[in-house]
Structure 1
Amino acid sequence: MRAEGAIGRDILANGTISDAKPAAPKQTPVEPEQGARGPKHLPTYELTTHDLPPGYQFEAWRNNFAPMLEFDEPDDVTVGFGGKQVTWDLGCLAFSRIETDALGFVSLPGHTRRDPLDHWTLTTLLYGCVNTIAPARTFEGSAGVVQVHTLGRPFEGNITNSEMLMLFVPRDFCTEVTGALNAAEFSNLSTGMGRLFTDYMIGLAKRLPVIDEAELPALVAATRAMILACASPSADHIEEAREPIASVLIERAHRIIQARLFDPKFGAESLRRELGVSRSRLYRLFEPFGGVMHYIQHRRLLDAHSALSDPTDQRRIIEIAEQHCFNDGTEFSRAFRREFGCSPTDVRSGQKADLPYKPATDLKAYAPEERFGVLLRRLHG
């Protein structure tokens, strides 16, 4: 929940709680991993209340967020308060991963705060629930739903024990984004495009620890395109976000396929329905992988290879084949040999226990939103 203006400051405004209390923790910079010629990773700041005595944890957490929110004090602060925040400085944006115990919050108008901030926050919960009371509406959010708040107007609410991802967007970030978020403020982006933005934020949280500063312009451009496509969907905005949207859809499709790997009824139509895309869009997404069904079979064969290579798995080959949706042993052996150049019996006997070797691809030349697709295409061969 920390806004751009707060990044890199001490947790407490004066650097200590008082002379009688332990020194306040500071926003600890995570030093970029940088060799003599290596990449420089993005500036990262980490804060946790767990380093403080229980009686001072809530005060530290409250002061950390004082530039943007006021927190209701719990009935008993002596029992401790759990909070952890990791923030990445993206230059003209900021991104945080936050874990917090349950609390109540209120945002005051900018002129009454010490640091008048007017940013938007786009928040998606990984678990937990939040209830917001805004001037014109009340809305609730749960895991997987993107919520839009503005720090320039008053609101209040409460949140359960939660983990969330939060993107901070300054008011002057982009004229088009300003219009889109003005229209969406104090609401849930619960459309199909909104759910895509949730997946995008989850992917962003995974990638940020390894992204270097040279990639930041492409990352910010992709994020801008995704905000517009999800908050104000139009043909132009969706086309502009085509590459990051495709990467998000492929990643989501991979998770769906992995979850339904052993379902013999699962196929292209099932995947299309779960992704919520048209047939033509689905086929275009999987064209680089040889088609939807080819990719699904490829994932099943990889999993079967892993089972056959496991010396503790004593099932018969036909049982493994049937689990992976092959009802005919001959068909399974034929498909397996096409994929790996050896038979299931060879792998089971240890003659071909290792998966085929492929050298790693240098992905630094690709924009961040393109890398997952490039990697999948390389794995596909």
Structure 2
Amino acid sequence: MTALSHPTPRSSVTPVFAQSFSTKDIPPQDQFDAWRALLADTIDLLPTIEASDSFAAEFSSWTFGNIVLTRTLYANAPARRWRHRPRSFLDHWCVVLARSHAPRNGSPSREATRQESLSFRSLALPFEGQAEDTEVLTLFLPRDFCREELEDFDQAHDLDINPQLGALLAGYIDNLARQLPHIPPAQAQGLATATRALVAACIAPRAERSEAADASLSSLLIDRARLVVRQNMASPEFGPEQLARLMAMSRSKLYRLFESTGGVAHFINRERLREAYRRLSSHRDSPSIHIIGNEVGFVDHSTFSRAFRREFGHSPSEARERSLTKLSATPLDVRPPETGPVDAEHEA
């Protein structure tokens, strides 16, 4: 795992500030030195390759509130060794999610299995490591992000994280990397507050933190479930059992997550219908209503129409007619209408 440099704070018109860097346009013989200079604020990257070898890497970072998330992609997973810089001016905690893709029994890389690990460290404390990760996501939090229990976090430096809590935190960090480029400014500070609470609950869990973190944990799991459903909704057979398997959750835990909002099957059906609404309203030349129904997992047209009317109060053809009317007048907001508590609470 690799902790990357913390970008120097800058003033910005919006609370979400992005940076990027790549070695691809740098001569191969200079790529390692350029990458080492990028990381110099936080770690000392030790030479492990010949001076003439290339070192292909891409770096992105997003600042929201007083938190920074960085994402690094390595091509061909070059081996790396590093150590924390003593007396670094960045007295921050970092949560590091590192991934590597290992070929399965000598199979081609496209069939590789994904391995990942999660760690928690203080940049101000000694640490040395080595890895060949292909992707690294690092969440940087200021030293005083949880002032009341600094001692708890000092003791957590480089210790194993509870596997269940670690899986939730890893999923949250992964979701952040996908969503931060699209987060509106008004939501950035609230997202930083929720992130601090979730890290505290997962790294140094205490009973009094559980309530503060519950909303973030539930939101994370529902966001993950929504992504899995959207990736698989074209299959009419996709249901609660498949969703539980792909999320690596027990069916009982998955059912508890959606118990208060109509159940897992209702959630899957709603996501199918919301996607159908979006496609019906997206543009004038979208496919026929029958094809759109098939694309979101409805084999029978009449079943699709009845479910659509129950969800939105009008038929698919009426939804298309309304969208065409709006398109002729103003740019269309293609989001489907809010239809229940799941969407009101968890829609990004």
After TM superposition, the score normalised by the length of structure 1 is: 0.65
Displacement after TM superposition at 1:236 (Å): 2.6
Q: Distance in 1 between matches of 2:129 and 2:39?
A: 14
Q: Distance in 2 between matches of 1:170 and 1:355?
A: 51
Question: Are 2:144 and 1:168 aligned?
Answer: no
Whether the aligned pair in 1 keeps the contact of 2:94 and 2:120 (CA below 8 Å) is yes
Aligned position for 2:83: 107
For residues 294 and 282 of structure 1, do their structure 2 counterparts lie closer, same or farther at Cα, with a shift above 3 Å needed? closer
Whether the aligned pair in 1 keeps the contact of 2:240 and 2:265 (CA below 8 Å) is yes
Question: Are 2:194 and 1:194 aligned?
Answer: no
User: After superposition, where does 1:12-23 map in structure 2 within 5 Å?
Assistant: none
Pick from 120, 136, 140 the counterpart of residue 93 of structure 2: 120
SS of the aligned residue for 2:24 comes to helix
Pick from 47, 53, 66 the counterpart of residue 73 of structure 1: 47
Q: For residue 137 of structure 2, what is the amino acid of its counterpart?
A: L
Whether the aligned pair in 1 keeps the contact of 2:255 and 2:263 (CA below 8 Å) is no
Q: For residue 65 of structure 1, what is the amino acid of its counterpart?
A: L
227-236 or 240-249: bigger deviation: 227-236
For residues 322 and 63 of structure 1, do their structure 2 counterparts lie closer, same or farther at Cα, with a shift above 3 Å needed? closer
Aligned position for 2:195: 223
SS of the aligned residue for 1:67 comes to coil
C-alpha RMSD over aligned residues: 4.3
For residues 143 and 352 of structure 1, do their structure 2 counterparts lie closer, same or farther at Cα, with a shift above 3 Å needed? farther
Whether the aligned pair in 1 keeps the contact of 2:59 and 2:71 (CA below 8 Å) is yes
Aligned position for 2:128: 155
Aligned position for 2:8: 7
Displacement after TM superposition at 1:268 (Å): 4.1
Aligned position for 1:283: 259
Whether the aligned pair in 2 keeps the contact of 1:95 and 1:167 (CA below 8 Å) is yes
Whether the aligned pair in 1 keeps the contact of 2:218 and 2:257 (CA below 8 Å) is no
Q: Which runs of 5+ in 1 are unaligned?
A: 9-28, 35-39, 130-141, 362-369
Q: Once the two structures are aligned, what percentage of the paired residues are identical?
A: 27
Whether the aligned pair in 2 keeps the contact of 1:110 and 1:117 (CA below 8 Å) is no
Whether the aligned pair in 2 keeps the contact of 1:250 and 1:373 (CA below 8 Å) is no
Aligned position for 2:109: none
262-271 or 167-176: bigger deviation: 262-271
Whether the aligned pair in 2 keeps the contact of 1:62 and 1:70 (CA below 8 Å) is yes
Whether the aligned pair in 2 keeps the contact of 1:58 and 1:80 (CA below 8 Å) is yes
User: After superposition, where does 1:1-381 map in structure 2 within 5 Å?
Assistant: 1-4=3-6, 7=8, 32=12, 40-90=14-64, 92-101=66-75, 102-108=78-84, 110=86, 115=88, 118-125=91-98, 127-128=100-101, 143-151=115-123, 152-160=125-133, 162-176=134-148, 178-189=150-161, 191-211=163-183, 215-264=187-236, 266-268=238-240, 271=243, 274=247, 275-276=249-250, 277=253, 279-284=255-260, 287=261, 291-302=263-274, 306=279, 317=290, 330-339=302-311, 373-374=344-345, 376=347
Whether the aligned pair in 2 keeps the contact of 1:71 and 1:104 (CA below 8 Å) is yes
Q: For residue 184 of structure 1, what is the amino acid of its counterpart?
A: A
For residues 106 and 173 of structure 1, do their structure 2 counterparts lie closer, same or farther at Cα, with a shift above 3 Å needed? same
For residues 144 and 352 of structure 1, do their structure 2 counterparts lie closer, same or farther at Cα, with a shift above 3 Å needed? farther
Deviations 1:104-162 (A, max 9, x none): 21215725xxx365533211135558xxxxxxxxxxxx6554222333123221224x2
Q: Which has the higher contact order (CA 8 A, sep 6+)?
A: 2
For residues 268 and 297 of structure 1, do their structure 2 counterparts lie closer, same or farther at Cα, with a shift above 3 Å needed? same
Displacement after TM superposition at 1:62 (Å): 1.0
Whether the aligned pair in 2 keeps the contact of 1:304 and 1:321 (CA below 8 Å) is yes
Displacement after TM superposition at 1:278 (Å): 5.6
For residues 322 and 104 of structure 1, do their structure 2 counterparts lie closer, same or farther at Cα, with a shift above 3 Å needed? closer
Whether the aligned pair in 2 keeps the contact of 1:177 and 1:228 (CA below 8 Å) is no
Work out the number of aligned pairs and report it. 317
Deviations 1:282-336 (A, max 9, x none): 213xx2xx543333223334556759x998979x95x986776656654344334
Whether the aligned pair in 2 keeps the contact of 1:110 and 1:116 (CA below 8 Å) is no
Whether the aligned pair in 2 keeps the contact of 1:110 and 1:118 (CA below 8 Å) is no
Whether the aligned pair in 2 keeps the contact of 1:225 and 1:240 (CA below 8 Å) is yes
Q: Distance in 2 between matches of 1:230 and 1:107?
A: 25
Whether the aligned pair in 2 keeps the contact of 1:3 and 1:94 (CA below 8 Å) is no
Q: Which runs of 5+ in 2 are unaligned?
A: 103-113, 327-331
Aligned position for 1:26: none
Q: For residue 131 of structure 2, what is the amino acid of its counterpart?
A: N
Q: Distance in 1 between matches of 2:325 and 2:222?
A: 23
For residues 173 and 297 of structure 1, do their structure 2 counterparts lie closer, same or farther at Cα, with a shift above 3 Å needed? closer
Displacement after TM superposition at 1:245 (Å): 1.8
Q: Distance in 2 between matches of 1:216 and 1:323?
A: 34
Q: Distance in 2 between matches of 1:235 and 1:83?
A: 41
